[in-house]
């Protein structure tokens, strides 16, 4: 049952003009003052560049509508709007003194323009999305999914909101990534989206916490009748738009970092700004578009205006909304195209979805509907009853993060109208005063064939509601749906719609008619399984296992997984096994996706059948999807996978199985022993050498962080086979992997070979760095002199510095302090980090500051505090004399932010020195951040940040730990040998964890960790600009905000000298 929530929801006494129901007058504009406001709504409509035959109509605008964040339609063709006033700028996040609300627009004279807005629900908070159901409205107000009942369909709220789901977290950071996007799918489920920076644990409010399903970004769905929640796919950054094609295949749009993705159930997608909580996701799936909508060779900030090379590419990197046009009214070139709104380019990007291998590829077609209003911020687009498209415009100048404030006093809804031909007629029997609800069962079934998908969706929802309430002629509807499926002249899309309706009704029906629908469903599946269209066969596979939820993002079974002790499951499983050999790659992808719905003991056989197709080895989806289905077995029972090595014909599977065997060898040696025995047994069989090569590569990855491991007996024979291959084939990656594994197994002269590789200037830096890191990990006693020798080699010296912290030798610290100024400015933070890693090194750091070899300004406030807290009283006293007292409370930082923002807002008498600013960037920031293609990649690339906003820059420079995303929070590790390592944990296995410090990437064996302490601090230190004079500070701020690169200027000290080799 749904649980009532006593919110302040306005229950209207009856429909009334908005003037009679004053909106909350507490809404205000927090946006910084601008010289001009938005164009008028009519002028904005006239400013669109349109294809021939199109016009733009203003459906509604301020004051009738403000801050529209989502729209939906009811069965009478009326538009419902979600208005969001609580969303606020960074630092405020959500202003909960304000309210969000849902309004219903009325077009009294039926001219397509709203005449009045009737409030339906008020007092909502963090409202991101709505979806109209026949008997109420679904509203997403994180952390809750609400149902707002209107069961008598009088457009009045019946009572308090009912809580359907809880647990959609609202993070203190990245508050723009919270759950959003309600939309009913063709399968009868309610779908939604969630950003990767807003993880949560989702459950019904009456369920215990252990029943919660974790989410860490992606697409999710909820069945309102079965009350089941599952995450469909995981990852990306912030999905904000999704839709389905005519066959029920889902696609979604991600705001940034790759815009177009196929909604593959169980997929793990690339997440550029977060870390997968599942450590066995070794590699993610990529987006399906073959292009970007901005020129990746240039600074994306120029795309804000959609000009130059960005204009030709598509206008910009940020996107909102997704609609696959199936309205039946627009010209053929729009049919089945995915439309998405380009935020910076202020236009509609058009994608052609083409089948490609097992999935799809998105091709860029000409952009359409360009807005001439600089304030246009399109958020979503939906088809309407006429087959035209309605677009909502937030109407603001802010970026995705709204660092400059929110303009709450405007908002528009436009309709893109094709006027060259009349719109399609509504279905026979439709009465706009009564809606779809007044149509007979037979008329609703006929409406499923309407060319405009708007009508088919409403007809399906009405049929579902009737089935749920047993107000349906079940036998008649079931037979007629089956007749549509069996009809010889039925096209594929019509059959897909009939199947989707059949399955949705089977889920919705009550107990009295359940057998009727079970029989109809079984008959339908038997027909669909033999259909010549692969897309129909895909639907059958998905449906047969739809009652078994997918694995969670953690790779654990879903809490509500059902029993398989019935004949229906066995029959479906046998059909799935046959489908693994289907000639269509799309069908095989559906099988791979279904692995995550199966009991663990049933997965290996299906996976092996799929891997028997050698042509799929390089498919962009299939090998990874099979691995995702095997991850729970790899986690808990890796031996089950290693014993089947011969079955893993795809290189990726062999590599990942070997990697997992290497990761667990310290706690369970059996999987690795089994793996190598099976690899040797392959002998001279077809593909044996490739399989052995992939086992080697995977094993080298899995053994990272482990010191010495006793090699299994089969390693000798395996090694001989590998060496024989390397004598015939030039394979640098395999050769290096062999050296790494030999070193960990203590074989031959592996330590010497690692040393020679690290010192060989003819090798590429990546190979040398890997060799050096491995040498440090497996033979630290042999690595000391190599690390010292490489201090003068840029790009290797950071790894060398980290390696030298393993030796509790004050002479090393004294050398680092003495040679400090010989290091490049970008490498000096790594020297400071090394000197802070051990208490015995700290004295050399303070001595260096006393002698002037280490500028006191290079020690940030945060690092000074760290040093003082861990030093003897005598050393702490010396530090205070040299550096000063560390007084850096939250109040101090806030006052510093206010003072700097006020001072730097006043234009100086002379222009800032951009060249000096670049030098200061290289000294203070480039050790972690890239800008204009230069600098390290430890922190975010600043090219894509909100660099032109002064308040944003000052806050992040003065108080970088004010708001720290969950995945960017640091962990402090104390090792048993006395080192302190602070950074972000990037991955962890049973044997080791990998941590990204501010200067390097380090692997620490679990056995060597004495203590680990999570922190809410950022990796970026405080006090970066405390020592800057006015000229340097203004130069740095101006350089950070610059749209183009500039040459450096300054003295030789800033550019740095190389230390002696």
pLDDT digits 0-9 by tens, 590-640: 999 999 999 999 999 999 999 999 999 999 999 999 999 999 999 999 999
Question: Using CA atoms, how far apart are residues 102 and 84, in angstroms rounded to an integer?
Answer: 9
Do residues 408 and 27 touch, judged by C-beta distance below 8 A?
yes
3-state class (DSSP) for residue 911: coil
The CA-based angle 205-215-536, given to 5 degrees, is 100
Number of Cβ within a 10 Å radius of residue 974: 14
Question: Using CA atoms, how far apart are residues 831 and 521, in angstroms rounded to an integer?
Answer: 68
Instruction: Tell me whether residue 148 is exposed, middle or buried, using C-beta atoms within 10 angstroms of its C-beta: 0 to 12, 13 to 18, 19 or more.
Output: buried
Question: Using CA atoms, how far apart are residues 864 and 883, in angstroms rounded to an integer?
Answer: 8
Question: Using CA atoms, how far apart are residues 824 and 814, in angstroms rounded to an integer?
Answer: 18
Positions of E strands within 667-793: none
Residue 619: its pLDDT value, please? 98
Q: Percentage of residues in the chain with pLDDT exceeding 70?
A: 91
Residue spans of the domains in the chain: they are 3-18+49-274+287-418, 438-528, 911-1055
The CATH superfamily holding the domain 3-18+49-274+287-418 is: TolB, C-terminal domain (2.120.10.30)
Residue 886: its pLDDT value, please? 66
- Three-state SS string over 439-450 comes to CCHHHHHHHCCC
Do residues 277 and 563 touch, judged by C-beta distance below 8 A?
no
Residue with tokens 């489920």: 189
Any long-range contacts for 1001-1007 (C-beta under 8 Å, 24+ apart)?
1002/802, 1003/704, 1003/705, 1003/773, 1003/777, 1004/705, 1004/973, 1004/975, 1005/705, 1005/706, 1005/707, 1007/666
Closest to 927 (Cα-Cα) out of 870, 991, 863, 868: 863
Length in residues, the chain? 1061
Question: Using CA atoms, how far apart are residues 377 and 411, in angstroms rounded to an integer?
Answer: 9
The dihedral through the CA atoms of 1044, 1045, 1048, 1053 has a sign that is positive
- Three-state SS string over 150-177 comes to CCCCCCCCCCCEEEEEECCCCCCCCHHH
Cβ-based neighbours of 997, under 8 Å, separated by 6 or more: 802, 833, 981, 982, 983, 1019
Distances (CA, A) of 238 to 279, 323, 813: 21, 17, 45
Does 3.40.630.40 match the CATH number of domain 911-1055? no
Closest to 419 (Cα-Cα) out of 536, 331, 504: 331
Distances (CA, A) of 804 to 26, 261, 773, 776: 60, 44, 11, 9
Distances (CA, A) of 897 to 956, 1026, 1041: 9, 12, 17
Do residues 517 and 598 touch, judged by C-beta distance below 8 A?
no
Question: Using CA atoms, how far apart are residues 610 and 625, in angstroms rounded to an integer?
Answer: 11
Q: How far is CA 471 from the centre of its chain?
A: 42
Distances (CA, A) of 585 to 354, 478, 542, 621: 14, 31, 15, 10
Residue 21: its pLDDT value, please? 42
Omega into 143 within 30° of 0, i.e. cis? Answer: yes
R_g of the chain, CA atoms, integer Å: 31
The CA-based angle 326-330-332, given to 5 degrees, is 80
595: DSSP letter: G
Closest to 416 (Cα-Cα) out of 465, 347, 473, 369: 369
Do residues 429 and 203 touch, judged by C-beta distance below 8 A?
no
Using 50 as the pLDDT threshold, list the residues of the chain that sit under it.
1, 4-22, 1051-1061
Do residues 126 and 140 touch, judged by C-beta distance below 8 A?
no
Q: Terminal CA-to-CA distance of the chain, rounded, Å?
A: 72
The per-residue b/e assignment along 405-415, b for 16 or more CB within 10 angstroms, e otherwise, is bbbbbbbbbbb
Extract the tokens encoding 1053: 């000290």
Do residues 405 and 82 touch, judged by C-beta distance below 8 A?
no
Residue 943: its pLDDT value, please? 59
389: DSSP letter: E
Number of Cβ within a 10 Å radius of residue 903: 13
- Output the DSSP codes for 934-954: EE-SSS--GGGS-TT-HHHHH
User: In this structure, are strands 347-356 and 338-342 parallel, antiparallel, or unpaired?
Assistant: antiparallel
Do residues 972 and 833 touch, judged by C-beta distance below 8 A?
no
Identical fold for domains 3-18+49-274+287-418 and 911-1055, yes or no, is no
Question: Using CA atoms, how far apart are residues 204 and 956, in angstroms rounded to an integer?
Answer: 38
Residue 9: its pLDDT value, please? 34
Residue 10: its pLDDT value, please? 32
49: DSSP letter: B
pLDDT digits 0-9 by tens, 531-548: 999 999 999 999 999 999
Do residues 721 and 692 touch, judged by C-beta distance below 8 A?
yes
């Amino acid at each position: 049952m749904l649980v009532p929530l006593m919110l302040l929801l306005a229950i209207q006494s009856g429909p009334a003009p908005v003037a009679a129901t004053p909106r909350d007058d507490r809404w205000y504009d927090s946006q910084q003052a601008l010289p001009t406001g938005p164009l008028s709504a009519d002028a904005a409509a006239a400013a669109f560049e349109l294809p021939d035959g199109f016009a733009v109509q203003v459906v509604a605008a301020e004051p009738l509508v403000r801050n529209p964040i989502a729209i939906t339609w009811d069965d009478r063709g009326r538009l419902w709007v979600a208005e969001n006033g609580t969303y606020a700028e960074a630092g405020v996040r959500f202003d909960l003194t304000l309210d969000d609300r849902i309004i219903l627009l009325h077009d009294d004279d039926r001219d397509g323009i709203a005449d009045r807005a009737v409030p339906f629900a008020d007092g909502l908070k963090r409202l991101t999305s709505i979806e109209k159901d026949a008997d109420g409205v679904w509203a997403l107000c994180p952390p809750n999914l609400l149902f707002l009942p209107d069961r008598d369909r009088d457009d009045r709220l019946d009572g308090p909101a009912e809580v359907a789901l809880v647990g959609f977290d609202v993070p203190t950071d990245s508050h723009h990534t919270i759950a959003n996007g309600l939309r009913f799918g063709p399968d009868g489920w309610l779908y939604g989206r969630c950003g990767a920076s807003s993880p949560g644990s989702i459950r019904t409010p009456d369920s215990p916490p252990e029943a919660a399903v974790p989410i860490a970004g992606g697409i999710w769905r909820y069945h309102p009748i079965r009350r089941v929640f599952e995450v469909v796919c995981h990852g990306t950054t912030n999905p904000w738009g999704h839709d389905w094609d005519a066959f029920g295949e889902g696609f979604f749009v991600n705001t940034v970092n790759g815009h177009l993705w196929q909604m593959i159930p169980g997929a793990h997608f690339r997440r550029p700004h977060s870390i997968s909580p599942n450590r066995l996701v070794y590699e993610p799936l990529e987006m399906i578009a073959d292009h970007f909508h901005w020129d990746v060779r240039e600074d994306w900030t120029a795309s804000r205006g959609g000009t130059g090379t960005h204009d030709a590419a598509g206008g910009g990197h940020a996107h909102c909304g997704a609609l696959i046009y199936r309205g039946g009214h627009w010209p053929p070139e729009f049919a089945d195209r995915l439309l998405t709104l380009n935020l910076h380019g202020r236009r509609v990007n058009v994608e052609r979805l083409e089948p490609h291998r097992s999935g799809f590829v998105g091709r860029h077609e000409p952009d359409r509907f360009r807005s001439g209003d600089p304030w246009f911020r399109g958020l979503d687009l939906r088809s309407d009853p006429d087959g035209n498209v309605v677009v909502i415009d937030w109407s603001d100048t802010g970026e995705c993060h709204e660092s400059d404030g929110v303009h709450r006093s405007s908002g528009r809804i436009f309709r893109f109208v094709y006027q060259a031909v009349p719109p399609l007629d509504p279905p026979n029997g439709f009465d706009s005063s009564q809606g779809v609800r007044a149509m007979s069962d037979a008329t609703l079934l006929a409406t499923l064939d309407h060319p405009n998908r708007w009508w088919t969706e409403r007809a399906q929802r009405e049929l579902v509601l009737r089935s749920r309430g047993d107000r349906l002629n079940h036998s008649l509807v079931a037979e007629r749906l089956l007749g549509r499926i069996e009809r010889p002249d039925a096209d594929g899309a019509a059959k897909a719609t009939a199947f989707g309706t059949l399955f949705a009704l089977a889920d919705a029906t009550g107990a009295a008619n359940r057998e009727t629908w079970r029989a109809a469903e079984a008959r339908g599946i038997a027909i669909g399984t033999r259909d010549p269209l692969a897309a129909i066969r895909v639907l059958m596979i998905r449906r047969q296992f739809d009652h078994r939820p997918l694995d969670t993002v953690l790779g654990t079974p879903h809490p509500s997984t059902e029993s398989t002790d019935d004949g229906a499951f066995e029959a479906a499983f046998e059909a799935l096994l046959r489908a693994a050999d289907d000639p269509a790659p799309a069908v095989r992808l559906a099988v791979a996706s279904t692995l995550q719905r199966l009991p663990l003991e049933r997965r290996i056989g299906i996976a092996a059948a799929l891997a028997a197709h050698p042509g799929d080895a390089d498919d962009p989806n299939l090998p990874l999807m099979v691995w995702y289905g095997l991850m729970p077995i790899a986690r808990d029972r890796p031996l089950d996978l290693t014993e089947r090595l011969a079955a893993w014909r795809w290189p990726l599977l062999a590599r990942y199985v070997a990697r997992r065997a290497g990761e667990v060898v310290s706690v369970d040696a059996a999987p690795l022993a089994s793996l190598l025995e099976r690899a040797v047994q392959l002998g001279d069989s077809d593909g044996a050498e490739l399989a052995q090569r992939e086992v080697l590569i995977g094993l080298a990855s899995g053994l990272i962080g482990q010191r010495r491991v006793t090699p299994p007996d089969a390693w000798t024979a395996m090694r001989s086979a590998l060496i024989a291959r390397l004598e015939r084939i030039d394979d640098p990656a395999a050769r290096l992997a062999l050296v790494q594994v030999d070193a960990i197994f203590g074989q031959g002269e592996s330590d010497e070979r690692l040393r020679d590789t690290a010192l060989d200037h003819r090798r590429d830096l990546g190979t040398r760095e890997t060799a050096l890191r491995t040498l440090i990990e497996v033979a630290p006693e042999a690595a000391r002199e190599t690390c010292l020798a490489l201090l003068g080699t840029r790009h290797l010296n950071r790894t060398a510095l980290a390696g030298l912290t393993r030796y509790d030798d004050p002479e090393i610290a004294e050398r680092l302090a003495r040679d400090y100024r010989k290091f490049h400015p970008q490498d000096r933070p790594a020297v400071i980090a090394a000197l802070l890693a051990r208490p015995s090194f700290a004295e050399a750091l303070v001595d260096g500051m006393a002698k002037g070899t280490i500028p006191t300004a290079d020690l940030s406030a945060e690092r000074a505090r760290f040093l003082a807290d861990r030093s003897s009283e005598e050393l702490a006293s010396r530090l205070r004399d040299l550096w000063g007292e560390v007084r850096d409370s939250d109040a101090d930082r806030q006052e510093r932010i206010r003072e700097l923002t006020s001072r730097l807002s006043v234009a100086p008498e002379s222009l800032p020195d951009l060249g000096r600013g670049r030098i200061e960037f290289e000294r203070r920031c480039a050790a972690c951040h890239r800008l204009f293609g230069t600098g390290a990649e430890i922190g975010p690339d600043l090219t894509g940040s909100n660099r032109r906003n002064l308040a944003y820059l000052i806050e992040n420079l003065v108080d970088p730990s004010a708001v720290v995303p969950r995945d960017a929070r640091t962990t402090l590790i104390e090792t048993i040998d006395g080192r302190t390592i602070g950074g972000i944990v990037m991955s962890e296995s049973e044997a080791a964890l990998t941590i990204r410090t501010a200067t390097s990437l380090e692997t620490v064996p679990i056995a060597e960790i004495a203590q680990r302490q999570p922190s809410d601090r950022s990796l970026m230190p405080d006090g970066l600009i405390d020592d800057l004079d006015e000229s340097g500070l203004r130069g740095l701020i101006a350089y950070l905000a610059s749209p183009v690169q500039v040459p450096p200027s300054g003295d030789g000290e800033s550019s740095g000298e190389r230390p002696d080799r």
